[in-house]
C-alpha cells in the first residue's frame, strides 16, 4: 500500500524586485566607508532583520568583518529594499532573515569609473518615507548626460528580446519603482506584463537610468514612479528580414 506524503513548503522572503535586481541596486548605490577604502580594506556585513507577514521590515542589526561605518552603510541600504514575506505552506508568515553585503575595495574603485554622477544640490531626507511624485514640490525626472531624453534613451538602448522577435510579441510593460535620494532607482516591480523577455528588458532599461530626485521642503525625497516601456513590431516577422 502506497501512502502519499505531503510536506509543508517554506519559501524564504525575497526583495520585490527579485534577488538579481536588488543586488544590482546595492552595487550601484554602495558608498564605501572612506577610511576602509583608503586602506584597501575589504570584508562582509551580514544584516539581520525581521520581516512580518505583510513584508514590513524592522529590528535591524549587523555583524561585520570590516568596520562600524560599513555596518551602518549596509543597514541603510537594506532598509531601502521592499520585501515579499516568507511563505509557509502557501501562507504569509513573519520571519527573521539575513542579507549579506560584500565590500570589495578593488571592485568598488573599478565601478566608480562607470557611475553616472548626478548633479545634486539639496540635502537628502533621511526618514526613508516614500512620496508619490505629485506629492513633491519638484518632481523627479530622468537625468542624461548630453541632450538625450527618455524616449531616445529607450529607443537607442532597447535590445528587443530574441523570443519576442521570433513570436512577434509586442505590448507595453508597466513598471513601478522608487527614485532614491541619490538618483538611483530601487524596488522595480512590474504591474502589467508582456512576456517573451520583454519584462526583463524593461527592468534592465529602467535600472540603468539615473534621476534628479524629487524635492519636498528643500530636501531630496524618495518617490514612487510609474513608467511604461513599449515594445512595438512591424507587420512582418523580424527573422524574415524586416526591421521593427
Domains and CATH numbers, the chain: 10-112 (3.30.1150), 130-240 (3.30.2420.10)
| pLDDT tens profile 29-64 | 999 999 999 999 999 999 999 999 999 999 999 999
Is 236 strand, coil or helix? coil
The pLDDT value given to residue 147: 61
243: its cell numbers: 526591421
Distance separating alpha carbons of residues 126 and 38, to the nearest angstrom:
26
Run means of pLDDT, 10 residues per run, the chain, 244 residues: 58 94 94 95 97 97 95 97 95 96 95 88 96 96 82 90 92 96 96 93 94 97 96 55 37
pTM over 0.85: yes
The pLDDT value given to residue 240: 36
Which run of H or E residues covers position 156? helix 150-157
The pLDDT value given to residue 197: 93
Distance separating alpha carbons of residues 218 and 184, to the nearest angstrom:
19
Amino acid at each position: 500500500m502506497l501512502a502519499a506524503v505531503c510536506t509543508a513548503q517554506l519559501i524564504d522572503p525575497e526583495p520585490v524586485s527579485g534577488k538579481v535586481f536588488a543586488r544590482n541596486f546595492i552595487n550601484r548605490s554602495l558608498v564605501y566607508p572612506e577610511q576602509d577604502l583608503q586602506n584597501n580594506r575589504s570584508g562582509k556585513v551580514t544584516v539581520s532583520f525581521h520581516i512580518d507577514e505583510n513584508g514590513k521590515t524592522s529590528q535591524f542589526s549587523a555583524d561585520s568583518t570590516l568596520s562600524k561605518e560599513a555596518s551602518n552603510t549596509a543597514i541603510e541600504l537594506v532598509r531601502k529594499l521592499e520585501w515579499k514575506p516568507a511563505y509557509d505552506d502557501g501562507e504569509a508568515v513573519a520571519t527573521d532573515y539575513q542579507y549579506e553585503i560584500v565590500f570589495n575595495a578593488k571592485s568598488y574603485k573599478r565601478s566608480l569609473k562607470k557611475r553616472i554622477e548626478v548633479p545634486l544640490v539639496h540635502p537628502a531626507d533621511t526618514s526613508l518615507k516614500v512620496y508619490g511624485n505629485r506629492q513633491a514640490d519638484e518632481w523627479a525626472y530622468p537625468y542624461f548626460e548630453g541632450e538625450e531624453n527618455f524616449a531616445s534613451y529607450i529607443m537607442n538602448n532597447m535590445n528587443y528580446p530574441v523570443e519576442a522577435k521570433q513570436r512577434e510579441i509586442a505590448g507595453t510593460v508597466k513598471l513601478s519603482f522608487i527614485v532614491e535620494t541619490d538618483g538611483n532607482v530601487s524596488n522595480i516591480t512590474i504591474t502589467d506584463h508582456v512576456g517573451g523577455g520583454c519584462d526583463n528588458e524593461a527592468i534592465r532599461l529602467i535600472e540603468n537610468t539615473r534621476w534628479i530626485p524629487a524635492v519636498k521642503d528643500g530636501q531630496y525625497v524618495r518617490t514612487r514612479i510609474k513608467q511604461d516601456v513599449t515594445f512595438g513590431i512591424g507587420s512582418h516577422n523580424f527573422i524574415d528580414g524586416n526591421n521593427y
